[in-house]
Amino acid sequence: MEISIVLLTYTHLDLVRQCLDYIANYADVPYELIVINNGANEETIK
């Protein structure tokens, strides 16, 4: 079974990194990651 994970970003780069690290380390099923830019600043986009 594959799941979809949707991550909505704004300007909290530290939280985005934490979410991505958590997903990469603990997702134990196949997944697709959808990142939605909700007006993020340049640093978050990088």
| Domain edges within the chain | 3-45
pLDDT value, residue 13: 79
Residue pair 4/34 in contact (Cβ under 8 Å)? The answer is: yes
pLDDT value, residue 41: 67
Span 1-46, pLDDT tens digits: 789 999 988 777 788 889 999 999 998 999 999 988 777 667 665 6
pLDDT value, residue 11: 76
Residue pair 35/7 in contact (Cβ under 8 Å)? The answer is: yes
- The pTM assigned to this predicted structure is 0.67
For 18-33, letters b (16+ CB in 10 Å) and e give: ebeeeeeeeeeeeeee
pLDDT value, residue 5: 94
